[in-house]
Structure 1
């Protein structure tokens, strides 16, 4: 089938093109390349890259260990702080975190390739089946974790390390959360997300119960009555809608669902995509959806964002990646209505926007973009009514610095908690830190403390 098909269709490319398009975005370093890359590090004693990492990995140490031929020891340094260091090495926006802070990141030099070096170390250890942690003596305490995403897995692993028993409840058929269902396929190809889940669970003491959702199969009160502590890390299930006429037409789809279908498909050639695709939004999800639509064979893919380039949540690197794949990014455009023809999407009417006295406003000038598929990527929201009176902040669960919520014995972290940044690495940090707080409370004489009013 050729790309001259109209409407949303599968098989737009030759079979071999799918494998090439969805191959690893950044191929792994081999041993020689890793040694060369590690030799560029200054091993700063006050390393700004370490400060920039949400999980505070000792980056100079793990790179020095690689440079001395000890990638296994390097992996332990990484896993001590971030047990999901393998996936973070693949999907972290290092260009705005550790590598942005690298002292070599100047006009004349590029930063040390911290992300690729982290992947080299963690992949080496995982391929060798090296486990670094042994559980402490059993404490007799059992903790319920809701959500098997980055925050929940990191929390469960750290709790198991301290000798507690953990039961993870997850609504989906597979554990992994964002890493399994929400990452662009070219960033983590193959079955790495599940391999990492298996690696995390290998510590023992963690049971995963799939297909069970908070509010549908159990309540927060149920968990609090049955377990010594509860950690909520179920992410954001709700999606924001456009609120414009025509958004229920055939051909309009949430970008998160589009990405999930891509992640789950065994054969990319079976995935339908439009010939002309418009993506609404300015974050990482919009970029991931747009790039993958192009890789599936869409002829024209346009991202429409209501503000300017500098205000986009997607990093400059991600914006440039999209442009390199042939994606058009248009700024200062807001959707007005979806244009319909024969009950399906035919295009989108947009209004030009501008800042007026510091506030975004429509200019009254409109235009239209032809499209047969529209992907909506304007953010997700907390959408769970079964929170039993938990205090909220900014539309998310309110937590203190240790992840404690307004309910005694209940902690939260990751995207569902205030302060979550829609990043695997920040979810890991919040889950890990909440686990330390839970362990401290359970192993001390004091009863659980309510931290948020």
Structure 2
């Protein structure tokens, strides 16, 4: 695909410098000390709290909020990190409105939950900014584990294994570790290089070596990794993007939304990132919303998000949908792309309305577009992988695959939600199962 920056109408510098600074500032600034105490005071500290059950990492939420309320945010952070070593990032990107906060008794009774996500950020930021790493490494076991993928699942797995004294080597295809947290999340959710700073902090446990530029199937062989290590964990994510399967999909101006988001995340100056005048995003998940909102923040005049099902079926939460709408993004549902129109570069996209069963209705419409982002799902890439369940790696228990000595977790593994917090939980649980296997604990 050609460089869309060379396509007429797609350019950077559409806005005054001060607008870029404002548009890409922190979406949810950390509460100050007083605000945190006020928010913590609203917690009922429920017995058998439903918020804990709703958290994929099982953080003891009432306990950490009580610790904040009693003036010990560092202790609160330790409570969080004991279950979720990437609690700082999760506090920024978790869809708390559909997880812990949706289950909050205050939400059920009053329609206004305790601000669990913001309180988690207050606690974790306090400890991390003090330069404190709350865990120590056990005596070395002599066991060596390979972790493929330095995203949330891989880093969570590596940290827990290192805690138990195992030597871990993490391999990742990108130039920087962090995976989705570094390359795939909207810039306004994680400003100031937080993802990189979190990785640096996590590695303070010791016993973890990170090797970047190492892609499975391209110089990195799974069979060799198994031979050289006592165990292997696969947290390789989903590297490919599904195709629209339409003629003209190679036209200038059409690209994958994940690449656009990665460009923004790695840009030293967001004003230099090119964006079109009329932008169309195809998809209904978090990636689609992140791409659409950021296109608008970069100065696109018209941004339209089109999804094939109804809004109630969108993977993006209602909060994210409302964020898009409030940012000026138009959302059209019940429509699927039929044709890419243009001579060399995209100029229009033709859609057809569909019914609830995705059957075509015969009614079509066109949207002007000089830039189109695909966000219609990602696919698993890799050679010699364990058995698959559909389009992901089949797992049983805590991430065990069909290959002896190989575990998997995160987006590449079947069965879980494609969320950062879920990936962290799966990496952590797989690490504990690996540890038990290597030490013959539990049989």
TM-score range normalised by the length of the shorter chain? over 0.9
Q: Deviations over 1:401-451 (max 9, x none)?
A: 21110011000000011123221100000000000000001001799xxxx
Aligned to 1:428: 424
Alpha-carbon shift at residue 219 of structure 1 (Å):
1.0
TM-aligned CA deviation for residue 190 of structure 1: 1.2
Q: Deviation at 1:107? A: 6.8
Pair 1:147-2:146 in alignment: no
Partner of 1:353: 354
Q: In the alignment, is residue 123 of structure 1 matched against residue 125 of structure 2?
A: yes
Once the two structures are superposed, the pairs formed by residues 168-317 of structure 1 within 5 Å of their partners are: 168-317=170-319
Aligned match of 2:326: 324
Cα offset, 1:245, TM superposition: 1.7
- Secondary structure, aligned partner of 1:89: helix
- Quick one: distance in 1 between partners of 2:152 and 2:118? 20
Whether the aligned pair in 2 keeps the contact of 1:12 and 1:269 (CA below 8 Å) is: yes
Structure 2 partner of 1:367: 365
TM-superposed deviation, 1:391: 1.0
Q: Does 1:88 align with 2:90?
A: yes
Q: Is the 8 A contact 1:28 1:120 kept in 2?
A: yes
Cross-structure match for 1:11: 13
Specify the alignment match of 1:31 in structure 2. 33
- Measured after TM superposition, the shift of residue 6 of structure 1 is 6.4
User: How far did residue 106 of structure 1 move?
Assistant: 3.5
> Is the 8 Å Cα contact of residues 281 and 291 (structure 2) preserved in structure 1?
yes
Q: How does 1:51-130 map to 2 (within 5 A)?
A: 51-106=53-108, 108-130=110-132
Equivalent in the alignment of 2:4 = none
Contact 1:247 1:337 in 2 (8 A): no
Residue 222 of structure 1: SS of its match in structure 2?
helix
Q: Contact 2:150/2:171 (CA < 8 Å) preserved in 1?
A: yes
Runs of 4+ in 1 over 6 A off after TM superposition: none
Does structure 2 conserve the Cα–Cα contact (< 8 Å) formed by 1:397 and 1:416?
yes
Q: Is the 8 Å Cα contact of residues 216 and 383 (structure 2) preserved in structure 1? A: no
Offset of residue 109 of structure 1: 3.4
Structure 2: gaps spanning 5 or more residues = 1-6
The secondary structure found in structure 2 opposite 1:365 is strand
TM-fit CA distance, 1:213: 0.9
SS of the counterpart of 1:360? coil
1:400 aligns with 2:396: yes
8 Å contact from structure 1 (residues 50, 59) kept in 2: yes
- What's the CA shift string for 1:104-128, capped at 9, x where partnerless? 1147331000000000000000011
Matched residue SS, 2:107: coil
3-state SS of 1:27 partner = coil
Q: Is the 8 A contact 1:6 1:275 kept in 2?
A: no
Structure 1 residues 69 and 434: alpha-carbon distance in aligned structure 2, compared to 1, 3 A threshold = same
- 1:166 maps to 168
Query: 1:418: which partner in 2?
Result: 414
Q: Number of aligned pairs?
A: 437
1:168-207 CA distance string (max 9 Å, x none): 0011100000000000000001110011001110000000
In the alignment, the residues of structure 1 paired with residue 282 and residue 234 of structure 2 have an alpha-carbon distance, to the nearest angstrom, of: 30
The alpha carbon displacement at 1:384 in A equals 1.3
The alpha carbon displacement at 1:400 in A equals 0.8
- Within 2, Cα distance between the matches of 1:12 and 1:69? 46
Aligned to 2:383: 385
Pairwise CA RMSD: 1.2
State the distance in 2 between where 1:129 and 1:232 align: 30
The alpha carbon displacement at 1:349 in A equals: 0.5
Whole-angstrom distance in 1 between the partners of 2:278 and 2:111:
39
**TM-score, normalised by the number of residues in structure 2:** 0.97
Once residues 79 and 139 of structure 2 are traced to their aligned partners in structure 1, the CA distance between those partners, rounded to angstroms, is 23
> Which ranges of structure 1 fall in alignment gaps of 5 or more residues?
448-453
Quick check: 1:152–1:431 contact (8 Å CA) kept in 2? yes
In 2: Cα distance, 1:92 partner to 1:444 partner: 35
Deviations 1:84-113 (A, max 9, x none): 000000000000000000011147331000
